[in-house]
Amino acid sequence: MSNLPVLDKPRKVSQFYVGIAFFIAVLVLLIFAWVKISAWLEDEQQAPVKEIIISGERHFIQDQQIESLIKRTQPWQLFELDVEKTHQTVEAMPWVYRASVRKRWPAGLEIYVVEQQPVAIWNGDMLLNQYGDSFNAQVEEDGSAENIRLPRLFGPGGSEQTALQGYRNMQSLLDVTELHIVEMFLSERFAWHLQLNNGVKLNLGRTEFIDRLQRFVDILPLISQQKKQIDYVDLRYDTGLAVGWKASNKAA
């Protein structure tokens, strides 16, 4: 019985060294895995953006414009690319109304674009979208101005939405005729002046301009029977109107 402890001692020493060896082996494997993962992450961080996917209905924006802008303003590595800054950069483009940007693994970027919808030319050098917001872009650059035939609206700064709503209301009255507004002037005192596609100019004044335009529509068949060409119609009267006729080109 006195020899049993002597026999157990070598076994305990052997188990101790086996445990140490196993611990060292696990530690070596963990260090090896950490080195490999670090190297992989470093490689991934340097991986370039290989694909940009752009979606959304677009008429004035070219995909190459968006790609070129991102390349100029952002690092071309997917991990280093800042999604929020990219979003702000894309949304600052004149023809972009709204945009969303997200990374697409392993090496792609997805961009969804909502394009501005121009409905009028504002003060000769700006455009209005469907919400009455002005933006600085030139429709003529794409050769589309004649195709979309935007009306030209003029007014004081800050009156964009008022002018656009007034234009829409008045054009809806003219839709029953073959006339449409090609130019509309809103003065500093908010008096309305129109020029129609037939060349006729209308002075509607500041108040009751919708009722006055309706009066013009009602009496248009009567004054159109005249053999003279209308130059302007002044509707700034409680009742009635004044018509100016173009001078005859015939020699007296």
Question: pLDDT tens track of the chain, all 252 residues?
Answer: 455 455 566 666 677 667 777 778 777 777 776 665 555 555 545 567 788 899 999 999 999 999 999 888 887 676 778 889 999 999 999 999 999 999 887 778 899 999 999 999 999 989 999 999 999 987 654 444 445 689 999 999 999 999 999 999 999 999 999 899 999 999 999 999 999 999 999 999 999 999 999 999 999 999 888 888 999 999 999 888 899 998 875 443
What does the pLDDT read at residue 35? 60
* Residue type for position 102: R
Please tell me the total number of residues recorded for the chain in this structure: 252
What does the pLDDT read at residue 94? 92
* Residue type for position 83: V
What does the pLDDT read at residue 228? 87
What does the pLDDT read at residue 251? 40
What does the pLDDT read at residue 8? 61
What does the pLDDT read at residue 38? 56
What does the pLDDT read at residue 202? 97
Q: Indicate whether 82 and 137 sit together in one domain.
A: no
Global pTM value: 0.73
Q: Report the C-alpha gap between 123 and 137 in whole angstroms.
A: 13
In a domain, 15, yes or no: no
Q: Indicate whether 123 and 239 sit together in one domain.
A: yes
Q: Indicate whether 206 and 187 sit together in one domain.
A: yes
Coil, strand or helix: which one is 139? helix
Q: Tally Cβ neighbours within 10 Å of residue 119.
A: 19
Q: Indicate whether 135 and 205 sit together in one domain.
A: yes
Contact 29, 21 (CB under 8 A): no
Give me the domain span that covers residue 147: 118-245
Q: Indicate whether 95 and 146 sit together in one domain.
A: no
Torsion of CA 110, 114, 115, 116, to 10 degrees: -150
What does the pLDDT read at residue 167? 97
Q: Indicate whether 154 and 100 sit together in one domain.
A: no
